[in-house]
Amino acid sequence: MLYLLEVNALVAAFVFAGAGLIMLGLFAWQEAKAYAAARQRMYQRITTLVTQPRVFANSFASSRRVRELTVRT
């Protein structure tokens, strides 16, 4: 009787350990997918900032240049 109880406990431990590992793997997979998606969004945002012209810097430089030209004439 004690032997059967030990075997059942051992089987239950393996079953719950396997289920726990599966759940842990699914959680890690979901977190990795979320991290990869966030990283891709960050890279896209950075590349759009780099590739877009600097509107404010150019407009300031242009207006300063126009002011210099109008003062000299």
Q: List, run by run, the mean pLDDT of 10-residue segments along the chain (73 residues).
A: 87 98 98 97 88 60 59 57
**DSSP code per residue over the chain:** -HHHHHHHHHHHHHHHHHHHHHHHHHHHHHHHHHHHHHHHHHHHHHHHHHHS--HHHHHHHHHHHHHHHHHH-
d(CA 57, CA 64): 11
pLDDT of residue 49: 80
- Structure-block tokens of residue 49: 């900032």
Domain definitions of the chain by residue range: 2-72
pTM of the model: 0.55
